[in-house]
Amino acid sequence: MAGAEWTSLEESLEKHLPLLDLQEVKRVLYGKELRKLDLPREAFEGASKEDFELQGYAFEAAEEQLRQPRIVHVGLVQNRTPLPTDAPVKEQVSALHKRIKSIVEVAAMCGVNIICFQEAWTMPFAFCTREKLPWTEFAESAEDGPTTKFCQKLAKNHNMVVVSPILERDSEHGDTLWNTAVVISNSGAVLGKTRKNHIPRVGDFNESTYYMEGNLGHPVFQTQFGRIAVNICYGRHHPLNWLMYSINRAEIIFNPSATVGALSESMWPIEARNAAIANHCFTCAINRVGTEHFTSEFTSGDGKKAHKDLGYFYGSSYVAAPDSSRTPGLSRTRDGLLVAKLDLNLCQQVNDVWNFKVGPQDPCCYLFLCFGSHPALRTENYCCGVDHSSMGYQLPPEGSV
């Protein structure tokens, strides 16, 4: 069941399971139970008026003697495209700006400090079509394009860091297109940008027709509210991508995405949560909602009949913590805002207990990972003066791989 008829996993569990069974199932699926946030009444009224879901949860850390709690409120926004995909480009962008503005205003009522939108939020996710026009017309400058200026105003007006994933037009380097996230400080200044490191070539996800792998590495942005990174969409399938942001000291890693049920929904609840556990940080998984229909049929060389949509974007955005707890997901079918109160002290507290990143690991594994394909490293089992053959490492003979 990958379409819009199913609202959410949480709703199904609550509808069909006895209370005690429900509590145990949630314990396994979501970790320890989170406290619901007491969000302002006017925020719920605003969400109801603008027809989007509003949820809020708190992740709490142990009280410490020497460190004060490091509290930050994050907001995750999921939404569908308000206009048909064949509407004029300017009208589509304007409608999305208007929609996001209304959601951000509610986020401000909830005290959100950092807000992140979904991947390529200013446009339909049209890369399945392989058509250049009109889709490349949605591309903008990351530094001073109309969407960045729009987000700068939001950030400054609401004292809120804004993470704005867009299709970027890099006019300084050959008008190249990139899948980019712009990070704007709560003062309205552009802190910088990051680009999608892993590009899918799976089914209808024909993104390399438009842009290639990013060239900015794994930047982490120091904000007033904490150190944040942005692992765009397909990068969530790559554990080392998360790891690099963590090595660069990210405390919160956002994962703005656009993914459909038939392809990835069974992976969705696992990957960001696992990354939070493995890297001792908070992760924020964000997906868009709905089905976007295009004028022309397209195929992708996978034997399927020509069709006019990519599939159903299933929403289900959530936040995961380093202690394995996570929020319930937002709806599969509705626009929504998820507010999460984080205590960043939890990152170090969990690291001190589990020590996954700095435990008794063999450093040579990382050398083998980086250079293992080099013939010179396949000629013997010795590295750093250690005989790895005695530790279960057996490199294949040179030329056998």
CATH code of the domain containing 40:
3.60.110.10
Q: What is the pLDDT of residue 205?
A: 84
Q: Is residue 4 part of a domain?
A: no
Residues comprising the chain, all counted: 401
Maximum distance among all alpha carbons in the chain?
Answer: 68
Q: What is the pLDDT of residue 359?
A: 52
Q: What is the pLDDT of residue 400?
A: 46
Q: Is residue 92 part of a domain?
A: yes
The domain tally of the chain equals 2
- 325 and 255 together in one domain: yes
76 forms bridges with which residues in the sheet?
A: 116, 338
Distance CA 330, CA 315 (A): 7
Averaged confidence pLDDT in the chain: 90
- Domain stop point among 316, 331, 354: 354
- 318 and 372 together in one domain: no
- 371 and 302 together in one domain: no
Q: Is residue 359 part of a domain?
A: no
Q: Is residue 1 part of a domain?
A: no
> Residue 126's closest CA among 113, 136, 141?
136
Amino acid identity for residue 305 in this structure = K
Tokens 């446009």, residue located? 123
- 290 and 369 together in one domain: no
What Rg value do the Cα atoms of the chain yield, rounded? 22
Q: Give 54-107 pLDDT, tens digit per residue.
A: 999 999 999 999 999 999 999 999 999 999 999 999 999 999 999 999 999 999
* Domain boundaries, position 370: 364-401
- 64 and 21 together in one domain: yes
Alpha helices in 110-158 (DSSP H): 146-158
Cβ atoms < 10 Å from Cβ of 62: 9
Q: Is residue 78 part of a domain?
A: yes
Q: What is the pTM of this model?
A: 0.91
Q: Is residue 2 part of a domain?
A: no
Q: Is residue 226 part of a domain?
A: yes
- 368 and 331 together in one domain: no
Q: What is the pLDDT of residue 393?
A: 45
- 193 and 329 together in one domain: yes
Ranges of residues in the chain with a pLDDT under 50 are 1, 360, 379-396, 400-401
- 349 and 380 together in one domain: no
Catalytic positions are 119, 196, 233
- 379 and 347 together in one domain: no
Q: What is the pLDDT of residue 355?
A: 85
- 284 and 146 together in one domain: yes
- 372 and 334 together in one domain: no
Whether residue 56 contacts residue 37, with contact meaning beta carbons closer than 8 Å, is answered with yes
- 154 and 26 together in one domain: yes
Q: Is residue 3 part of a domain?
A: no
Q: Cα–chain-centroid distance for residue 137? A: 24
